[in-house]
């Protein structure tokens, strides 16, 4: 597109526009994550996208600024992706029962870095299109995934109970709904409450939602998550 062709030139104005474009793309994705209260939010995504763009610009500066340099610019890009991988790992949460949270956030952060590389190399329109697609994935597929999750029979349960004595009451509710479970783990939290973790299976599809409502209605359940 001729509108963005000037961004592929090596000038101060083009560089500034590349960085601004990376900032906007990172902010688009980060704002969605911030509104959903994710571990990696607005600032994280903006900084990752901006930093990746700067890496591409710096690599271009090195190559064009010195005639004796024959290095491949993609080497810096590859190292950016590797480095962001460690940052993505920091967004993951291990519940201790084999379940892992934060995979979508980590994948989004990694993709945001690639968007930054595209913006930094001058392909701002590609970065913008990708950022818009990411927002559609988070919105449309996110709602679809939530509905499919509610319909699923199998799930992992993480509950915080006020007292150890109330744990049998929780298990009794599961029994009343004909829910079979395995891998039961009961530990004590730093504040003195009991943390219950298990893997469960409902007898029929679509029972997960009503079961969650029933469990949350119990006065001894302080916090509940089913995933």
The CB-side HSE value for 172 (13 A sphere, CA atoms) comes to 6
Which of 37-41, 53-57, 120-124, 130-134 is predicted least confidently?
37-41
Long-range contact pairs involving 205-209 (C-beta distance under 8 Å, separation at least 24): 205/151, 205/152, 205/153, 206/150, 206/151, 207/153, 207/177, 207/179, 208/149, 208/150, 208/151, 208/152, 208/153, 208/155, 209/150
d(CA 212, CA 156) in angstroms, rounded, equals 12
Cα-based distances in Å from 206 to 182, 209, 227: 20, 7, 14
Helix (H) or strand (E) holding 201: strand 194-201
Domains in the chain (CATH in brackets) are 2-149 (no CATH), 152-226 (3.30.70.260)
pLDDT score, position 97: 47
What burial letters (b/e) apply to 41-51, b meaning 16+ CB within 10 Å?
bbebbbbbbbb
| 161-208 pLDDT per residue, tens | 998 889 999 999 999 999 999 889 999 888 888 999 999 999 888 888
The answer to whether 51 and 43 have CB atoms below 8 angstroms apart is no
For the residues 57-77, what does the mean pLDDT come to? 64
Check whether 159 has a pLDDT greater than 80. Answer: yes
Q: Output Rg (C-alpha) for the chain, integer angstroms.
A: 24
For the residues 137-166, what does the mean pLDDT come to? 81
Check whether 71 has a pLDDT greater than 80. Answer: no
For the residues 146-175, what does the mean pLDDT come to? 86
SS3 label, residue 193 = coil
- Of the pLDDT bands very low, low, confident and very high (cuts 50, 70, 90), residue 67 is low
Neighbours of 196 (CB within 10 A): 21
d(CA 31, CA 46) in angstroms, rounded, equals 9
Question: Residue 141 carries which DSSP code?
Answer: I
Please report which residue ranges of the chain form alpha helices under DSSP H: 2-5, 12-35, 42-65, 74-89, 103-120, 124-136, 142-151, 167-176, 208-216
pTM beyond 0.85, yes or no: no
For the residues 24-31, what does the mean pLDDT come to? 87
| 72-114 pLDDT per residue, tens | 656 767 777 777 777 777 776 655 545 556 777 788 888 888 8
């Amino acid at each position: 597109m001729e509108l963005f062709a000037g961004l592929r030139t090596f000038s101060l104005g083009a560089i500034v526009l590349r960085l601004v474009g990376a900032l906007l793309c990172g902010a688009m994705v980060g704002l969605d994550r911030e509104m959903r209260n994710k571990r990696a939010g607005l600032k994280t995504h903006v900084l990752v996208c901006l930093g990746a763009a700067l890496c591409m610009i710096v690599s271009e500066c090195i190559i064009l600024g010195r005639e004796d340099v024959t290095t491949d610019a993609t080497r810096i890009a590859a190292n950016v992706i590797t480095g962001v991988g460690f940052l993505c790992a920091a967004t993951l949460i291990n519940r201790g029962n084999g379940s892992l949270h934060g995979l979508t956030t980590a994948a989004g952060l990694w993709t945001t870095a690639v968007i930054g590389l595209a913006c930094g190399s001058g392909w701002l329109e590609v970065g913008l299109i990708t950022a818009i697609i990411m927002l559609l994935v988070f919105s449309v597929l996110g709602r679809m995934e939530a509905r499919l999750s509610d319909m699923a029979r199998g799930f992992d349960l993480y509950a915080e109970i006020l007292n150890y004595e109330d744990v049998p009451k929780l298990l009794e509710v599961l029994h009343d709904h004909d829910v079979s479970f395995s891998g039961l783990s009961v530990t004590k939290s730093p504040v003195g409450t009991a943390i219950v973790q298990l893997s469960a299976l409902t007898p029929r599809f679509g029972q997960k939602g009503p079961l969650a409502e029933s469990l949350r209605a119990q006065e001894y359940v302080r916090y509940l998550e089913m995933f």
